[in-house]
Amino acid sequence: MQVDLRVRAVLSRHTGMVEEELVVFMDVHDPDGSEDVGWVVVELPEYGLGWELEGEDLVYLDRGEEHWYGAAGLTAPGMVRVPRGALVRLTVGDLGGRTAEREIRIPLSTMTPAPEDFPGIGEGGVLIRAGGATRHFLQQGTQLYLIESSQAANALFLEESVREKLGGEPFFLVAESDDYLWLESGPWESTDF
C-alpha cells in the first residue's frame, strides 16, 4: 500500500492566521475491486486523534492502475499545527471484513511556515513566489493549474490565459514547498490584480 502524506498549511487572507491540515491518501488494491473498499481510519495515536472515513467523507481517485482513497483537510478542534514527527496509523477495510494497516511518520524536517513564507499576488498581477518552493499552482475547487515559469526571478506575471481559466471565480495559490508540505493562500479574486 503506497501512502501520500502531506501537511497543507493554509494562510487566510482575511485573518492572517496560518492553520494546518493533514492530507492522506493510500493506493489500495482490493482483489474484489475498488468498489469493495468500505472505510479508512487515520489515527495519530500519540495525540489521541483519529478520523473514520466512509461514505461521502472517503475520497476516491481512480488513476488507471492506482486506486487512491483518503481525505484532504483533516483537522481536529484546537489543532492549529500538525505535529511534526507524529506517528500516523492508517487502516483500510473492505466490505468483506478484510483490513490492512500501515504506519508512517510525519517528517520532523517539515518546516512550520510563517505568513511571509506563503505565495501571494503583488501589484499588476505579479505572483510572489514562496521561497524554496519547487512548483506553484492555482487551485479553484478541485482543479489545480500548474504555473509554468522559466524565469529564475521571485515573481511571475499571471498571464491573461490564466485569468480566463479562472473565469472571475475565487481561487487559491498553492506552493509545493517540499515532499510533505504544501503552502496555500487565499482566497484571491481576479479583481485583486
pLDDT profile of the chain (193 residues), mean per 10: 89 89 87 80 94 87 84 86 93 90 88 85 78 81 70 54 75 84 86 65
The pLDDT assigned to 160 comes to 65
Query: Smallest Cα–Cα separation from 1: which of 72, 66, 88?
Result: 66
The pLDDT assigned to 192 comes to 65
CATH 1.10.3470 for domain 2-105, yes or no, is no
Q: Hey, where are the domains in the chain?
A: 2-105, 115-192
The pLDDT assigned to 193 comes to 61
The pLDDT assigned to 152 comes to 43
The pLDDT assigned to 39 comes to 92
